[in-house]
Chains A and B, each alone.
Chain A
């Protein structure tokens, strides 16, 4: 059973460009959450998708957007990249519902903006 897979593992982009990161959830999971982890810090919640809709959003600008597909996989898009967007982006999958708390994480995508 494959766990959460993210692609690519590393990415270098130029300031002002756009980037798309991808996530496939653990088999059987229906909810995908995205986190940004800056160097030396804990992950910060970006947003969560369930039933192809954004259900919750953290304190991130509209440059950060996402999508969930019918097969539950998800994309994170960041437009107009800033140097400060350089971070590890983590995807976590889980089951939607009260008490369903266990989240499985992927290995992340390391984004470097130059």
Chain B
């Protein structure tokens, strides 16, 4: 049981390049989330999904896209990378939304845009 896995661990992009951050969970959770964490700040929700084929925007969605074709996978797409997207990205999943149920987090992807 690997939990939530993310690839890659690190990536450097040039301005204007695109990339996809991969996220997979093996806990059969319906709910999945993408967060970003900037230095000295808390995590901010980018997008979330309540199940395969259903996604919605979080607090900071601009510049990102997501898709959810399976229960296990929730990739995050950056189309035109900008320096403001330099951050650490965390994927998470949960059995239910909100309440006391914890979200399980992946180890993160550290992205630098130069």
Q: Are A and B co-members of a single complex?
A: no
Give B contacts to A, CB under 8 Å: none
